[in-house]
Amino acid sequence: MLYENRYVISDQMMDEYIRKVLCRNIRLAGLVFALVSAVMLVFTIVDGMYVLAAVFGVCLIIMVAVPLLTPPLTRRQMRDASEKLHGGRLCETVIRFGEDIAMEEGTVNMRIAYGQIQRIIELPSVCVLVMGKQNAVLVDPKGFSVGGYKEFLVFIKEKTGAV
């Protein structure tokens, strides 16, 4: 084992991961569609098409609401799933980096090959090792009990070839 990372996920880590990784595309798409809806709303009001303006107004409300509501709902769903998995409590996550990535969280154990890591996203309170659209390993930059964060970043980038 070259590196070991231990943490209990904090609200800040989870929020950053959800907002900047999981829900990033939803937020961007919501912004684009909200702008389109707003422009169409203005044009339909100017042209006196009030029924169509009402439709675009509803679309605008939905396009603003979805990106705002998705992160907190996702956070709640993730927290609930984790608590159900571990009997109503949050467990310490232990990740060991050696020949492969060994992850333990409560009674759940998982092994991950370095080749599965597609991308590395460094955020202020969490480093995200992305394995796909729905899978990632979260690493706490302050949670290293073996090795240090800066050395770990060099190591993981070399092992995975990910950026």
Number of domains in the chain: 2
- Looking at the fold, whether 65 and 97 belong to one and the same domain comes out as no
Nearest to residue 93, comparing CAs of 1, 16, 8, 2? 8
Which amino acid, residue 16? E
% of the chain exceeding 90 in pLDDT: 74
Same domain for 101 and 71? no
CA-nearest of 91, 157, 149, 127 to 13 is 127
Based on the domain organization, do 74 and 98 belong to the same domain?
Answer: no
- Same domain assignment for residues 61 and 121: no
Domain final position from 65, 85, 105: 85
162 SS3 class: coil
Span 101-112, pLDDT tens digits: 999 988 889 999
Q: How many CB atoms lie within 10 A of CB 74?
A: 18
| pLDDT grade for 117, boundaries at 50, 70 and 90 | very high
Answer yes or no: do 101 and 151 share one domain: yes
Report the range of poorest mean pLDDT among 38-52, 54-68, 81-95, 102-116: 81-95
Residue at which a domain ends, from 64, 85, 106 = 85
Same domain? For 49 and 70 the reply is: yes
Are residues 81 and 93 located together in one domain of the fold? no
Distances (CA, A) of 65 to 24, 36, 38, 72: 15, 15, 14, 12
pLDDT above 80 for 96: yes
Range of the domain at 104: 3-9+89-160
